[in-house]
Structures are given as structure tokens and as C-alpha cells.
Structure 1
């Protein structure tokens, strides 16, 4: 799971990132609205933790832009403004949840986990399911009818990303940015190499075709 934290309070942002990293989430962070929008538009995150008051674009401007562009990423708004009107404005702009500062980190974690559980109704406890294919986050492995695939960490992360976005086209760039990072100097061709390895492991169970190639674009997890 990958989370983007957009928060200009350095102490709060660093504390949030530390807590989320400790929960084994992959976390990207920024303190400015403009960079936050750029990162959010890459489509590689599962949840965005978004402060309303930011230098540059405000959190509400980012939220409105993302929703107007069809972005469906789960967004949790953070704000110091404790009023009904502010909550309503944020929710009507498309926020999935709302948390008022100061807040307990336990509540932040609970809200994020709830948002992840809502994503496609795929998650049952620590498990993702699609047909007879399942992923177990604690074991970092995939299973077909209970039989392990024996995935490497990178293979697991790619398959998780595809499963979270089942039956949707995911570009090579999105996979690369999510798994290796937007600043990685690794070649984009590494995505195809890992997809090949994944298909070989799925082929043992005659499921290699569940990862479909969308020529010139990327890949999609879809049952034949």
C-alpha cells in the first residue's frame, strides 16, 4: 500500500510518515500544494492524506482538481478549522473523510485503514482477493486456492497494485513510479521483466492470462 502525505507542518508530517512507515506502508511526502498535486496525479497511491492550508495550491484546490479529472483515490483531509461549514465544504468537494487537528495518531491510522477497506471491497483483514487468487499482506505472498506463489517483494507489490485496480488499465509508468519510485534511475523495461516473472509463477496454476497486456499502454488484471 502506498500513501501520499501532503502537509506543510514539518513536525506533524514527519511524525505521520514515521507512524505510517512503521505500519509497513510505503509513504511519499511533500510540504507544498503544487508538488502535492503533481505527485497525486501520478495515480500510484491508495490514500492521500491532505492538509487544507498549504503553500501554493490549497488542499481544497488539489481535491477539486483531482475529482474534476476523474481521480478516485481515497482522500483524507486534515485541517485545523473545527467547524461544520469547513467539514461540509471538504466533503462536498469530494473528500472521503475528514480529521480535525490536533488528532491522535491511532485515529489517523484507523481512518486510513477504513478508507483502504472501502476500496473496491477487496480487502478482508490482511487479505486481497480476486477469483481464486489472493494476496496476504503479512506474509507478502500470493496464493491460488491456498497454494503459495512464492513471490519476491517486488512481484508481490506489482500484483498488489494490479489487484487493487482490478479490471482497470495500469500504465507501465504508474507501475514503475509506485514500485521503484519517481526518482529511480532504473530502466522502465524492468516492469516487463517482473510481469514476465509473475506470469511464469501464475502459469503453474494456469492463471498467466489473468495479467493482460494492453498494447502500447500497460497491463490489466482481469479474468479471461
Structure 2
């Protein structure tokens, strides 16, 4: 059973996180302050860590920075009430793998945790991504489907890269918004739907096996048909 470490000083939030992760097959341990959380993360082999941004004893930024300095590569989902872009960037630059703002839905937490658990970090020097007959060259900045070049706009390229890095996993609209556009999700905008539609028309052409699927009520997944 995968193991999670929940570093969170608010007991209600911590219990909600533990319960949600448990419902998705993870055994979760809870620590209520930064220093104890760092010690547990260094001692035990966890598969994922959820880390509150503001903690007593040791700040979440300092915790994740220290983990990375000590070569601990456990995926870290940072959680914070601070939602501005600068704070998110600071958390990711310190070594966090994702950043979720409070309040959040249990489904959003679960989706992000599953992506982090299953994500394959690119090997050093890796320059190409491939899913079925779809290829993305990260150096030359071009894309191919069944050997045929695709003309992608910069945002479409970033969107496709994010989907391919998480191939087979449902990514929510909020995750796409934050990772591709770099700012907090606005539920009133249809910009994601527009870009997904354009990308579909380019990579899922006539005669091609559709790769981008809509998961109703959840988000999108890039995967071949069953």
C-alpha cells in the first residue's frame, strides 16, 4: 500500500486529507509541525508528502528546500491558503511538485495526489515524449502524429506537453490552468475548453484513434481508446 505523509497543523484539514487519501488506497501518517514533519520525511520511505505552506516550528518552504538539499525526491504537494502567483512560484521553485490552494475539494486533492504518485519524472537529458504514435520533441519544439508534423501554437504545445507527461491520468481543469497558464483557475472562463478543442482538431484528425478524452465532471485524460 502506498504511504503518504501529511504535514499539516490544522487538525480538521489534516483529518480530511488523511481520510481522502485513505479512500484512494493510501496509508497516511499525520504530523502537525514542520520540524517533526521533516524528521519523518527523512526517516521513512514515503511515496508522497502533502505539505502545508505555513507551519509552526519550520515553514513549509524550508521543509521542502531541506528535503531537496538532502536528495529526497519524494513528490511534494504543497497546500496553502496563500493563492497569489508569487507564492505558488516560490513553493515550486523551492522543490514542491504541485501547489494546491485552500479551500480545495477532496476530488481535486485526490487527482493531484494520483498524478504525482504515477508521474514519471523525465530522465536527465530526455528530449522527447511519446504516447502511442504521438511524439513531442522538447528541444526542436515540434510535434508529430503518425510521423506527420503538427502545427501547434505555443500554448497548445505546453498543454500537450502537460497532458503527455501525465498520460493515462485524469488532470483537472484547475491543474491544467495552473500548470499551463500559471495562475489560479477562474471557473467562469472557457479558455481551457477552447484550447482543448483546437488541440483535438489538430492531433485527433480524421482516421486517427482519438487520444484526448473528456472525463465528465473531472477533467481530461490523454490515452488511447480501450
TM-score category, normalised to shorter length:
0.5 to 0.7
Matched position secondary structure for 2:43: coil
Question: Which residue number corresponds to residue 154 of structure 1?
Answer: none
Question: Which residue number corresponds to residue 30 of structure 1?
Answer: 31
Compute the displacement of 1:42 (Å).
1.6
Question: Which residue number corresponds to residue 110 of structure 1?
Answer: 111
Q: Which ranges of structure 2 fall in alignment gaps of 5 or more residues?
A: 123-226
Partners of 1:21 and 1:90 lie apart in 2 by: 25
Matched position secondary structure for 2:25: coil
Question: Which residue number corresponds to residue 90 of structure 1?
Answer: 91
Alignment of 1:144-223 (within 5 A): none
Compute the displacement of 1:43 (Å).
4.2
Compute the displacement of 1:92 (Å).
0.6
1:47-76 Cα offsets, whole Å, 9 max, x none, are 000001111001111000000111110000
Question: Which residue number corresponds to residue 101 of structure 2?
Answer: 100
Q: Which ranges of structure 1 fall in alignment gaps of 5 or more residues?
A: 122-224
- Work out whether 1:44 is the aligned partner of 2:61: no
Matched position secondary structure for 2:73: coil
The CA RMSD over aligned residues, in Å, is 1.2
Compute the displacement of 1:21 (Å).
1.4
Partners of 2:14 and 2:28 lie apart in 1 by: 11
Compute the displacement of 1:120 (Å).
5.7
Give the number of aligned pairs: 121
Partners of 1:31 and 1:97 lie apart in 2 by: 20
Runs of 4 or more, structure 1, over 2 Å off, are: none
Matched position secondary structure for 2:114: helix
Matched position secondary structure for 2:99: strand
Matched position secondary structure for 2:119: helix
Partners of 2:112 and 2:51 lie apart in 1 by: 13
Compute the displacement of 1:19 (Å).
1.5
Partners of 2:111 and 2:23 lie apart in 1 by: 14
Matched position secondary structure for 1:67: helix
Partners of 1:119 and 1:77 lie apart in 2 by: 19
Matched position secondary structure for 1:95: coil
TM-score (norm 1): 0.52
TM-score (norm 2): 0.52
Question: Which residue number corresponds to residue 69 of structure 2?
Answer: 68
Partners of 1:22 and 1:82 lie apart in 2 by: 27
Partners of 1:118 and 1:20 lie apart in 2 by: 17
Matched position secondary structure for 1:111: helix
Question: Which residue number corresponds to residue 2 of structure 1?
Answer: 3
